[in-house]
């Protein structure tokens, strides 16, 4: 476990936050969704707090040029770890955001829409990655009739054997949805570069390509509490639930 902790501390974490927030557009919030409050602090602060609790040495937050309020918040706030801002000039998806952040070494990726207060999943992801250098991701069970909403992983033990982004209803053989916590490796980056186009690039595309490149992709099952802030409805429900707890 000491070696795992050492490897974790050597990794940076990428936090993609350049999306257009189209699901919240009708609400005319006037702020990026990452600045929406949850339990007294913005969603992006929860993501950075999770990274700090897990022991990451630094974070790279990927932003669009238009998100000036979010840039200002990061530059002016007392954050729990050093943060570098990376600008994604065009909103071409999370996969493209990770490519923009790539510095040639494995990185963790944390999607801020889902707030969690636990960190054990990071130790498990790093431990799996450390064994043989495999890429790794978190999965969680969802109702089988909702699999078309998610990227879905088919697994044999901890080994991922197939990844499908939003399979058509009734076609999925697995109910394991990809949860936005990852360790990205060279194999994933190579897959993203091979899939890159002028269209939106999903991170799943890079992981799907990495499955066939030894040592493959590994999965950690996430079973903790999730506060989903990705849509107006889930954010409202999560804010209500979060108000009933007293997080650290």
Q: What is the pLDDT of residue 121?
A: 96
Residue 119 · residue 26 · CB < 8 Å:
no
Give the pLDDT confidence of 193-236 residue by residue, as tens digits.
Answer: 999 877 889 999 999 999 999 999 999 999 999 999 988 889 99
Tell me the pairing of strands 12-16 and 107-110: parallel
* Residue 248 clears pLDDT 70, i.e. is over it: no
Q: What is the pLDDT of residue 230?
A: 86
Q: What's the token pair of residue 28?
A: 């005319």
Q: Is the pTM of this model over 0.75?
A: yes
The more confidently predicted of residues 8 and 62 is 62
Task: State the virtual CA torsion across 22, 28, 29, 33 in degrees, nearest 10.
Answer: 0
* Residue 92 clears pLDDT 70, i.e. is over it: yes
Distance between CA 38 and CA 58 in Å, rounded? 23
Give the pLDDT confidence of 121-174 residue by residue, as tens digits.
Answer: 999 999 999 999 999 999 999 999 999 989 999 999 999 999 998 999 999 999
Distance between CA 68 and CA 60 in Å, rounded? 16
Residue 94 · residue 46 · CB < 8 Å:
no
Distance between CA 111 and CA 103 in Å, rounded? 19
Q: What are phi and psi of 61, to 5 degrees?
A: -100, 120
Q: What is the pLDDT of residue 31?
A: 84
* Residue 104 clears pLDDT 70, i.e. is over it: yes
Distance between CA 27 and CA 113 in Å, rounded? 17
Report whether CATH 3.40.190.10 matches the domain 2-242. Answer: no
* Residue 72 clears pLDDT 60, i.e. is over it: yes
Residue 155 · residue 139 · CB < 8 Å:
yes
Distance between CA 184 and CA 37 in Å, rounded? 29
**Closest-CA residue to 33 (of 66, 60, 5):** 66
Give the pLDDT confidence of 38-49 residue by residue, as tens digits.
Answer: 999 999 999 999
């Amino acid at each position: 476990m000491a070696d795992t902790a050492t490897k974790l501390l050597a990794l940076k974490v990428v936090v993609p936050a350049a999306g257009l927030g189209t699901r919240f557009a009708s609400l005319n919030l006037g702020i990026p969704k990452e600045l929406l409050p949850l339990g007294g602090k913005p969603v992006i602060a929860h993501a950075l707090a999770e990274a700090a609790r897990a022991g990451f040495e630094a974070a790279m937050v990927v932003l669009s040029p238009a998100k000036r309020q979010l840039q200002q918040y990061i530059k002016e706030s007392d954050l729990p770890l050093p943060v570098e801002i990376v600008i994604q000039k065009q909103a071409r998806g999370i996969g493209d955001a990770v490519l923009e952040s790539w510095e040639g070494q494995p990185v963790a990726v944390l999607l801020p829409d889902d707030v969690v207060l636990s960190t054990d999943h990071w130790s498990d992801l790093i431990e799996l990655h450390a064994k043989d250098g495999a890429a790794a991701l978190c999965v969680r069970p969802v109702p089988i009739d909702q699999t078309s909403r998610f990227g879905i992983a088919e697994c044999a033990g901890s080994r991922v054997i197939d990844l499908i982004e939003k399979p058509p209803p009734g076609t999925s053989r697995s109910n394991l949805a990809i949860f936005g916590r990852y360790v990205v490796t060279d194999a994933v980056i190579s897959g993203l570069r091979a899939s890159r186009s002028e269209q939106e690039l999903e991170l799943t595309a890079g992981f799907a390509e990495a499955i066939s490149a030894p040592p493959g992709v590994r999965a950690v099952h996430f079973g903790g509490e999730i506060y989903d802030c990705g849509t107006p409805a889930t954010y409202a429900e999560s804010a209500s639930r979060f108000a009933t707890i007293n997080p650290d």
